[in-house]
Amino acid sequence: MAGNLAAARMALGGGVQPAGSAIGRLLLGVIFKWVAVLTVLGLGMAVWRLPPLPMLVSLSAATLAFALANLLKR
């Protein structure tokens, strides 16, 4: 959830811009989101010793729910 919020703020926070800048901000937001997600997964496995399978299943479920919510919102 925090990764999606960060990506949205980065992608849409600049106001009205030319198409090239808007696409660049969108791609930068998606990259930032996945860096944040992978950082949290790494911290969870290395520092907090959480089991990796439930973390990966929850990541998959959250990604699927995000995609379905965007499809149903149309």
CA distances (Å), origin 7, targets 44, 47, 50, 53: 21, 25, 25, 25
pTM as predicted: 0.74
Residue 22 φ/ψ, nearest 5 degrees = -65, -45
Is residue 34 within 8 Å of 3, Cβ to Cβ? yes
pLDDT of residue 72: 93
The structural domains of the chain, with segments of one domain joined by +, span 2-73
- State pLDDT tens for residues 45-55: 999 999 999 99
